[in-house]
């Protein structure tokens, strides 16, 4: 039996939002907006920065960063969320200059690999200690770092042990949608974490049925892995942009000129909820993404990921309320 199905409490779905780091402190009115959509968890995401894909040095927790990207800011976010009964996953992330994909971070020399390992350990343990101090239930040990993991697997195994030594909650790793099958350490963690940007349809405005059909081959592979390693699946990120062809390449983050398409975003979210939220091997997920200043976010002319102030917000609220208990 999968761990997620071991008790009634474990059956409760994680209905999460990825709570975007801001320049500002989080106020009560900001948290109230996620309560309105029946979210019961939020990913708090402090950041470290790397100069380029071959740089071994991670810069983090500096005065030059936005408040929410720092240790102080993450702690304030956590405290405000917990005050409102919202659970937290601490999910430290890396940002490479000019937005280069973190999955391709790779060092040219053994010395640089060793320096990256030291730097990342300092970065991730600092936030593991914050997660322990603030008693959050889930900690994410990394996000979309495929080449780093592939080149240094023994480092990651040892790192997990070091994290366990300072943090007593549950652990996951956020593997990219095309990475998770090759991630070697799922049995060392508590959740199989997937950033679920799977390509589902090439239609401009795919229907819910077309999208559900598009999910079937991916879903079977995910289910098989969950049963093989006996770990529940957590979508550490999931979301679709409100644009034409949103399910063709859901990972796109560029300033696409594709037209605004609210129906495509609604249908894509409807399909993912219908396919996964009723499965006992599925733990839940974190919507990508939610900005703290709700009144100024999203809207009917916006073709980005957030569902805020769009029809998709009602879809999220409906399903989060349905799976609230």
Tell me, what's the pLDDT at 107?
98
Q: Is the peptide bond before 319 cis (omega within 30 degrees of 0)?
A: no
Residue 76 backbone phi and psi in degrees, to 5: -65, -40
Dig out the tokens for 227 from the structure: 């049963």
Dig out the tokens for 297 from the structure: 């976010």
Tell me, what's the pLDDT at 145?
98
Instruction: Give 226's contacts (C-beta < 8 A, 6+ positions apart).
Output: 2, 192, 232, 233, 281, 282
CA-based nearest residue to 91, from 28, 19, 162: 19
Tell me, what's the pLDDT at 3?
47
Domains and CATH numbers, the chain: 3-322 (3.20.20.80)
Would you write out the chain's pLDDT as a tens digit for each of its 325 residues?
344 443 333 468 999 999 999 999 999 999 999 999 999 999 999 999 999 999 999 999 999 999 999 999 999 999 999 999 999 999 999 999 988 999 999 999 999 999 999 999 999 999 999 999 999 999 999 999 999 999 999 999 999 999 999 999 999 999 999 999 999 999 999 999 999 999 999 999 999 999 999 999 999 999 999 999 999 999 999 999 999 999 999 998 876 667 999 999 999 999 999 999 999 999 999 999 999 999 999 999 999 999 999 999 999 999 999 998 7
């Amino acid at each position: 039996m999968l761990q997620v199905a071991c008790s009634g409490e474990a059956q409760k779905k994680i209905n999460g939002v990825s709570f975007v780091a801001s320049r500002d402190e989080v106020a009560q009115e900001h948290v109230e907006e996620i309560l309105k959509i029946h979210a019961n968890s939020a990913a708090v995401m402090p950041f470290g920065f790397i100069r380029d894909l071959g740089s071994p040095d991670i810069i983090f927790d500096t005065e030059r960063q936005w408040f929410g990207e720092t240790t102080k800011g993450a702690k304030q976010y956590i405290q405000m969320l917990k005050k409102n009964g919202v659970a937290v996953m601490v999910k430290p992330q890396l940002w490479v200059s000019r937005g280069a994909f973190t999955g391709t971070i790779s060092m040219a020399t053994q010395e640089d690999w060793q320096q990256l390992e030291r730097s990342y350990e300092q970065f991730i343990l600092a936030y593991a200690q914050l997660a322990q101090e603030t008693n959050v239930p889930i900690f994410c040990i990394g996000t979309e770092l495929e080449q780093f993991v592939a080149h240094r697997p023994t480092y990651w195994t040892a790192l997990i042990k070091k994290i366990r030594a300072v943090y007593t909650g549950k652990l996951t790793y956020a593997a990219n949608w095309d990475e998770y099958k090759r991630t070697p350490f799922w049995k060392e963690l508590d959740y199989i974490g997937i950033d679920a940007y799977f390509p589902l349809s090439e239609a401009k405005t795919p229907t819910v049925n077309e999208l559900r059909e598009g999910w079937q081959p991916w879903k079977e592979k995910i289910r098989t892995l969950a049963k093989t390693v006996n770990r529940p699946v957590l979508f550490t990120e999931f979301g679709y942009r409100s644009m034409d062809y949103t399910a063709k390449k859901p990972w796109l983050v560029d300033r696409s000129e594709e037209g605004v398409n609210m129906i495509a975003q609604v249908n894509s979210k409807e399909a993912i909820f219908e396919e996964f939220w009723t499965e006992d091997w599925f733990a839940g997920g974190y919507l990508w993404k939610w900005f703290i200043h709700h009144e100024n976010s999203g809207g009917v002319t916006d073709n980005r990921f957030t569902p805020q102030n769009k029809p998709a917000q009602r879809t999220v609220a409906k399903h989060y309320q349905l799976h609230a208990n």
